[in-house]
Chain A
Amino acid sequence: MNPLTELAQQFTRRSLLQGFGHGIGLAAIAQLLGEEAQAGGSREGELRDGSAPLSGLPHHPPKAKRMIVLWQGGGPSHVDLFDHKPGLEAMRLQELPESVRKGTRLSTMTASQGSYKILPPLKPFRQYGDSGRWLSELLPHTGGVADDICLVRSMYTEAVNHAPGVTLFMTGSQIPGRPSLGAWMTYGLGTLTSELPSFVVMTSSDVGKTCGQLFFDYYWGSGFLPSKYQGVRFRSGADPVLYLRDPQGLPRELRRAALDDLAELNRQHLSLSGDPEIDTRISQYEMAFRMQTSVPDLLEVEQEPAHVLELYGPDVKRPGSFARNCLIARRLLERGTRFVQLMHSGWDQHNNLSYQLAEQCRDTDQPAAALVRDLKQRGMLDDTIVLWGTEFGRTVFIQGDINNPRGHGRDHFGKCYSVWLAGGGFRPGHSYGETDDFCYSVAKDPVHVHDLQATILHQLGIDHERLTFRYQGRDFRLTDVHGEVVQGIV
């Protein structure tokens, strides 16, 4: 036999890697075999324990390890709140020039409206913080943390309606069914706690429920990832997690005994059947039991010191409020939850902008700012991303009748709008991107939703092009086939 062949036959693949590995560097081989190295995690349908990060992750040293989304559903008006254009006042109720408006795809609510009159911001803007950031006077608390946040004024999206807009922002596609940001993140980075879910969702709405949208569970779904990566919804009702409470009347001691018996019987069965899935079941039942204690404990927000409760404002006492959810979110992050998604609705001010905008700001401004302060004072802001985001902004022109205070507002608008981020390595006190004089088009440094997603993943140590999952024969990722990291905001 050919001596070389003989030699080759002696090599197993492993010894080959070891033998040659020292010659060319194990890391290089691992990289060359990148797909192989990932096979354990990214093969579709594969069940993984879910506690460890995917092999190869993080892709680079992360700036942040957890994240909270303060979702402002409905489309807050960038015109009124963030995008300071002092020139608009002089053009009050003048027609938006045709040259500016031309060709914009509008929703059916204003597409056939004959007139497009400019409505300047309802309230004046003022400067906040050392950075002198211009913000609406409706946002004094956000102004108080102006130097901590990074404002992006040049966001844009193709979506003209809520559900497709939120779905795009949360899952990377306007059509429902893809994994959401939180699912991707927990899938990729694994968990930090076994006491609580790693991805938690809470919802709230404006008090009057006058202009809210529904939040669909695919906004926090796992898509084609295993369903354990989907967000766990905490409710404001009696059961924050569905079926969390023991049946009425069942003594806790008996439940404990029953779980011990279950574990014993399941172990017996495991020795007979040999299926490792039984072992997983035993541990999942134990985590269920721990959650029965850890979740109610988590929700005991009244345990917080008075100065913390005050920070979040009076609404913190009301179950189901945005303020209370913000505080619970902080407690979750503290206890090891990786991703918290707060969904707050009520910004869809088609008809009632004139009075509802101020109400919405009052309900959300203080808690959002409090969360930033609270994380900062605990030293957690550095490695936590806070995103104040939404599906789109609103038109600079009026929808409806200006003379009817309950009959006018602004329509959906995705060509440019604003979001802000704090912590997690996002540049504090920084403003990024510019729009034209009418808050109508991006003039400088456009940031598409996919770009922001890529940037968020980047801060978490994830290369958005490499966190993929094979489904239907294709490698899917959060950013679809788009997205570039926005270097100017990190």
Chain B
Amino acid sequence: MIEAGHFAAFLALVFSGLQVGFGLRTDRERAGLFAKLAFVTMLFAFFTLIWAFARSDFSVELVFEHSHTLKPLGYKIAGTWGNHEGSMALWCVVGLGFGAAGAWLLKTGRPAFEARALGIQGLLSLASLAYLLLASSPFTRLDPAPLQGSGLNPLLQDPALAIHPPMLYLGYVGYSFVFALAAAGLIEGRIDRDWAKAARGWALAAFVPLTLGIALGSYWAYYELGWGGWWFWDPVENASLMPWLIGAALMHSVIVTEKRGSFAAWTALLAVLAFCFSMLGAFLVRSGVLTSVHAFAVDPLRGSVLLAGLVVLGGSALLLFAIRAPKLKPGPDYVAVSREGALMGNNLVLTVAAATVMLGTLFPLLAEALGETISVGEPYFHLTFTPIMALALVALPVVQAWAWGKADLSSLWKWAAGFAGLVAVFWLAGVGPLDIPLLAGVGLAIAVWLIFGAAQEIWRRAKTVERLPKMPMRVWGMTLAHAGLGLFVAGAVLETTARTQTTLALQEGQSQEVAGWTMTLDDVSSIEGPNWYADRATLTATRGGTKATLKPQKRYYPAARMPTTETAIHKTGTADLYVALGDGRRSREGETRWTFEVFLNPFIDFIYLGVALIALGAGLSMVGKRKRPKTTEAA
């Protein structure tokens, strides 16, 4: 079976090659046909892998190394992409999937352009397939077949983390198609309004899963690691944030190109960069270079090949860009105070933010290469990334109403007064009842400002209640995404500044006060699951009349010889009461004391709700424009 998959993957490689050939010779029909064939054959190859995992076929080396008979079926299947080789296979499937979708959906009326785009997409797929088959083949057999597998990393045995990689890859690889569109446009020297109309949907189609993938990873880290936080500025997280920020810049810049024909070169550059940053993210995570430059030596081939690919791809795309960009037609004139100017500001902030994340992430590696070891973590990003982003968030509600070309500034003083008033209110409240730091007051003011701004913007466009439901989907999408951003900021500010952490040490029957809650340890028992056993504590938390039972676990997976924490979370309505079980230690009297890390995480749901709204908004704005509502008055 797996041999059939191996053969199918080779066949997909051949079809991709044909896709490239016909694509670059501008044969739209045949390039499209082979794009679809390549996808179908690779999908079959991937299913043979999934099948091997589902059946625990340990004669396949990959299954032996990353699976175990005691694992629940769902996680056996998810194990297919929970390792290097399998995730590369997934990367290929997704890349070919976007090629097939492009072959099917791309209807610009310019077949030569479409064929070239498919050809370049095929080239990217060809490269990843070659890498899969030559440097990280998942189709290797073991003889004799072992009787038992050596297990999957138990941290990964989790629903959020099972679907996190496919989501992330849909985003990363989705940008490969945007890259292909940009490269094809640059080859023809035509990055114009029609081009942008076609590219915008694909940029959003990559942005939505990337957003969801990052959110899932963050949520997993929140409840699985037992650290209480939701974003740790860990290099692996930063690696996914960089393409997200560039992708966010791209989806705003492409609007200017679509509506006005301006920013053509810049939009093409962002389209190229979004995929380069996606590859950089994959390289950083896959090569192991992040923890230390020395880890690079662990598997130099894989890392070097990925890095070489990134350099060749990025270099040639930038060269193409440098040759063609000066020839692109500029759009109509505009002054600084205009929607073009506003979106330029948006792009400036988002790209500088991405550059800041890159600097903070790669700086320790550079320093280590020069013989110094330093760390760059949360405090650095809070003092650089956050204020830079805050600039854009404060400006957003004001400048989104600016007209194309030249905006009217007569109402600017109202906006300024409104924001100043909002900040004053939160500052005063912060000193008084809320007991939050002053800067957090500013953060909350920005959150309310964004939500208000989103509501104001859709009202400004609709003008009457009757017209509200008839607003185009993309206006609703924008409104929801910007309101979601506000909700996210509110959650992030509250959670970061007002989170409390307490360590408890309790014997059975003892209680202690934490953040207004009385925590009583009822008992600790041993329980067993399919491939793990655990200590499970039962805690009763009471505050006033409310009572909650929390059952945090410390699990041990014998097959992987690895402990994990299973946190217990009680939603109080305004916060998460979050408990992670630590070690049990015998005291002198022979009693066992159990340690607990107890967090009170206020409004953490706002963070995930906000991000979900951003993804939903971006998704809605993909929906085609409805016919304008017929109104007698002139708009």
Q: Do A and B come from one complex?
A: no
Q: Which B residues contact A (CB, under 8 angstroms)?
A: none
